[in-house]
Amino acid sequence: MKIAKGAIVLFTGDSITDCGRARPVGKGAGLGSGYVAIAQERLKDNVVLNTGISGHTVRDLAARWDNDVINLKPDWLSVMIGTNDVWRQFDKRGVGVLPADYKATYRALLTRVRPNLKGGLVLMTPFLVEANEAEPMRARMDEYRQIVTELAGEFGAYLVDTQAMYNYHMLQGATVKDIAGDRVHPSPNGHKIMAETWLATVS
């Protein structure tokens, strides 16, 4: 594991990270029921924090960046944001964030925090558990996946390609229900896969 003993590891993002975590900052037994809590089992020598908030887009994340990221002074930062930016363009329950705005906003956030990270930065791509790459929401999600991939290269971040990860498991016979029944929110097994991939990426 590349993460030094005692390092502060902060996870932030939307509902996929939130998973019922404690407020105002999830830690210890309050990390929620998702991949962050599972990853913490291997990060016992570290301070693991969770500031994910369900329903948030990159614009929402920008509005709370100081309180939920900068002020917590993490050594390592893991960000997973973009699912709602895309989903809201299709379900009409809110306002999505178009690609150019998503990339510019995300880049501005990373520009502010990257110099402060003594450890590393991990970027996780948004995903849709959908095998048909031509399906409109899946195709749109892949655009945002590519943006995150480019930002990871630009900022020297570890990249956790969650779309590729779930694609692989579907090729091995996993069903959508096995991974994420609504194609977005992972099942317990989906979170386990995500945590294992995250840990493998930074190891």
Enter the pTM of the model: 0.95
Quickly list DSSP for 40-85: HTT-TTSEEEE---TT--HHHHHHTHHHHTGGG--SEEEEE--HHH
Domain containing residue 23: CATH number: 3.40.50.1110
Residue 119 lies in a domain: yes
Residue 193 lies in a domain: yes
**Contact indicator for 10, 24 with CB cutoff of 8 Å:** no
Residue 129 lies in a domain: yes
Residue 3 lies in a domain: no
Q: C-alpha angle 102/61/52, rounded to 5°?
A: 120
Range of the domain at 113: 8-202
Residue 150 lies in a domain: yes
Q: Which of 1-15, 100-114, 168-182 has the highest mean pLDDT?
A: 100-114
User: Which pairs with CB-CB distance under 8 Å and at least 24 residues apart come from 133-137?
Assistant: 136/90, 137/86, 137/87, 137/90
Query: Coil, helix or strand for 167?
Result: helix
Domain total in the chain: 1
**Contact indicator for 152, 146 with CB cutoff of 8 Å:** no
- Please check the confidence at residue 40 and state whether its pLDDT lies above 80: yes
Task: Report how far residue 179's alpha carbon sits from residue 167's, in angstroms, rounded to the nearest whole number.
Answer: 10
Mean pLDDT of 166-195: 87
The catalytic residue positions are 15, 182, 185
pLDDT tens, residue by residue, 58-94: 999 999 999 999 999 999 999 999 999 999 998 877 6
* pLDDT the model gives residue 1: 63
Residue 139 lies in a domain: yes
Residue 2 lies in a domain: no
**Contact indicator for 130, 139 with CB cutoff of 8 Å:** no
Residue 1 lies in a domain: no
